[in-house]
Amino acid sequence: MITIKPFEAGFIDELSERMTSGIVGINYLDVARLAEIEQQYGRPFCVKLIQFVKTTLANLVMDLPFVFSTKTVGDDFFIYAYVESGVEQYVQQMLKERGSYLKTAIEAAIKTQFPSVEGITLHTGSAVLTHIADKPLELIVYTAIKEAIRQAKQKAVEAEEDGKKSEFLEILSNQLLSSVYQPIISLTDGNVFGYEALTRGPIGSSFHSPLPLFEFAEQEGYLYSLDKVTREKAVEGLRGLKNGQRVFINLMAQIINDPDFNPGQTRKLLKQYGLTPNHVVFEITERYSVEDFKTVKKVLSHYRAQGYQIAIDDAGAGYSSLQAIAELQPDYIKVDRSLIQGIHEDKVKEYILETFISFGRKMNVKIVAEGIETVEELHKLMRMGIHYGQGYLLGRPNKELHIPTEEITREIVRQREMLDSVVSLLTIGDLATPVKTFLTSDPSSKVANYFKANEEEQGVVIVNEQGVPAGLMMRDKLFQQLAGQYGISLYWNKEIRLLMDSEALIVEHRLSPEIVSQMAMARDIRRLYDFVIVVKDQKMVGAASVRTILESITQVRMEHARVSNPLTGLPGNIQIQRYIRNCISQGGRFSVIYIDLDYFKWFNDRYGFHKGDEVIQYTADILQQTLSACGNPHDFVGHIGGDDFIVISTTNEPSLLSEEIIRRFSQGVSILYEEEQEEIVRDRYGNQVVGASLSLSLAVVVCTEDAAVTSEGISRMAAELKKQAKEQQGNSMAITYFNEMKTSV
């Protein structure tokens, strides 16, 4: 919007005098798209251009009759004319012709002066100053100026629309369209299920993007003609489509009512390229309301009879998702990206998506999630049971039928294996971890020195020359023997077989943890918490601690409960152990963060299990959100059970990650309280704790590349650390490096 400076008193007086004796009119000129010109060519060029227009205009008006003044405001030019006698209609016509003349002459001059710059045009408008009694002359002038500017803008819009229509018709008649294909990936195995064909106009044109292209076609009545061309282009590029793969092609519901609509054309086109209707899924976009379901259902029935399948596109973004799904009964529901983006952080979106999943499960309809852009979104969707995915993370639109990267495929397969692990088939061999071995003939001093150098190791297995386990040597028992009177002199250089437990519990890897736990608990109290040695055909597989065995049994039961009524949807102990073993086997740096909720029992008892479940779910969400924001793509969140969680991350700053977990938890946990009641917090033993509230205790074990890491060692260190953290009031964290017990609280 331009701002006109106050007119000089002399000019106003002159206008008043001329309006009294004749008719005064205004021609308006404006340099179009000056901001774009400045962005492309720079401010100095614009200053030079405006000055040239001003000079050219001054030269032109010298030869024009009736002109008595010109005014310049920025890139806006006003030419005042005075006709002493005549009718207003004649003056208006003269002003229009004069504006057209000035526009043409100045544009021609610009083209000559600046031959390398294209597309500089002027907007024009005109108005007559109409005298109105009791209306100030300044206001009459402003009214005329606004009318002239309005005319100029209207002409510009009309010219732009005429230009767009010419451009559109050229694109349509010459079929200057192409198709790109975005892969739709199976979230079961990472393979390509199909492709969505997306229309593109010429690069650099107003219609390169499909949205303005189809909107203009609908507005101008060319929707069916455009749909026919785009469908042909989509099929032409499908060379290489494999058996079993699908191509998703958009079908605008509006074209079904077009009198020229002919469903049989697509079948003929497919035949030319060796394809059949079984390869095609028609997407009915849900962004525009379907008003005549009866007609649409009739046409879709015709398509289905030929072998085509139907998808509802953009579900959740339009006018009547559930109605369209219920009426059309599609084979696929494509959920709009607006519901997918950030779904791992938004419970409302999750609940809405669960509606589609529930419907799909009952009606055998497959769900496709659109707009997947992050690994966190991918993991969440896989946990929720989404069948197929589409988005920049999985593959961008391309002219070729390309496949996703190996990294993405591996990630989908890895996540699927974790989700599909069958805990009911768990054996003690799955719980066994690598353990250091010594020969029966090795001196006790060798074993003692190993324990001194590896403080996290609690036990070693003693084997014979054939590698068959012969006994067990636990750290505490060895040092107890050596610490006794004459222990060093008696045993230091003697064979370890003299001190080992030759009656250690040795079991076959095929046994279930439940059976092994019963055997372990049947030992005398001195051996109750000793390792269980696991063998396969007498060859050692590893060792398992009693704690690991008991936790696995608990987790099996919890996993069964989780499957039937999941609370957090997070992986459990079996997956956690497998993930840790995988990290250990890869040999890289990683950190294990154990998270425990303080005073959860009090909260659960005080507010009830519904509120308790909310706290557990809230904590799970906080952990996932924090990893999404501060962690790495392949980091892991697990639910050990109850109010205990675990995070496994490859971040270089585990302390910062832990601090962010605490910060986010503290920021929102207060809303779970009922503020109107005064709270008396009690510990798990019923003792009142002054100033306490729901908080987190974190135990962080950093495993470096050069550390001899074991799962049992991590567990032991974390337990010690958690004890230290829980001694602190409020949110707390204890962190240490594996092999060290120097902690920072």
Which residue shows structure tokens 């390792």?
Answer: 531
Q: Do domains 9-169 and 175-411 have the same CATH topology?
A: no
Residue found by looking up tokens 């609370």 in the block: 567
The more confidently predicted of residues 507 and 266 is 507
For residue 688, the 8-state DSSP code is B
User: Would you say residue 553 has pLDDT above 80?
Assistant: no
Helix (H/G/I), strand (E/B), else coil: 65: coil
pLDDT digits (tens, 9 = 90+) for 294-328: 777 777 887 888 888 999 888 877 555 677 787 88
**How high does pLDDT run on average in the chain?**
83
With a pLDDT cut of 70, the percent of the chain lying above it is 88
3-state SS record for 468-517? CEEEEEEHHHHHHHHHCCCHHHHHCCCEHHHCCECCCCEEECCCCHHHHH
How does pLDDT run across 326-370, given as a tens digit for each residue? 788 888 999 999 999 998 878 788 888 888 888 887 777 889 999
pTM equals: 0.48
Report pLDDT digits (tens) over 593-622: 999 998 888 888 888 888 888 889 889 888
Integer CA distances (angstroms), 250 to 36, 313, 588, in order: 35, 8, 47
Please enumerate in sequence order all residues whose Cβ is within 8 A of that of 156, keeping only pairs 6 or more positions apart, or say none.
Answer: 32, 123
CATH 3.20.20.70 is held by the domain 568-737: no
C-alpha distances in Å from residue 698, one per residue of 141, 593, 655, 733 = 74, 6, 10, 5
Q: Which residue has the tokens 């009866």?
A: 294
Return the percentage of the chain with pLDDT > 90, whole number: 26
Topology of domain 428-548 in CATH is CBS-domain (3.10.580)
Nearest in space to 372 (alpha carbons), one of 323, 310, 415: 415
115 within 8 A of 10, measured Cβ to Cβ: no
Question: In angstroms, what is the C-alpha Rg of the chain?
Answer: 39
Give the lowest-confidence range in 50-59, 453-462, 501-510, 664-673.
664-673
Residue bearing tokens 């009031």: 729
Fold of the CATH domain 9-169: Alpha-Beta Plaits (3.30.70)
Instruction: Please check the confidence at residue 223 and state whether its pLDDT lies above 70.
Output: yes
- List CB contacts of 158: < 8 A, sequence separation 6 or more: none
pLDDT tens readout for residues 194-203: 999 998 988 8
- Say which residues have a Cβ less than 8 Å from residue 185's Cβ, sequence separation at least 6: 191, 192, 193, 388, 389, 390, 394, 395, 404, 408, 412
Of 717, 722, 686, nearest to 596 (Cα)? 722
Closest by CA to 460, choosing from 446, 493, 741, 487, is 446
Mean pLDDT of 273-300: 76
What letter does residue 401 receive in the DSSP assignment? -
Task: Please report which confidence band the pLDDT of residue 120 belongs to, taking 50, 70 and 90 as the band edges.
Answer: confident
The order of strands in the sheet holding 67-73 is 67-73, 76-83, 23-31, 122-128
CATH number of the structural domain 175-411: 3.20.20.450
The full set of domain ranges for the chain reads 9-169, 175-411, 428-548, 568-737
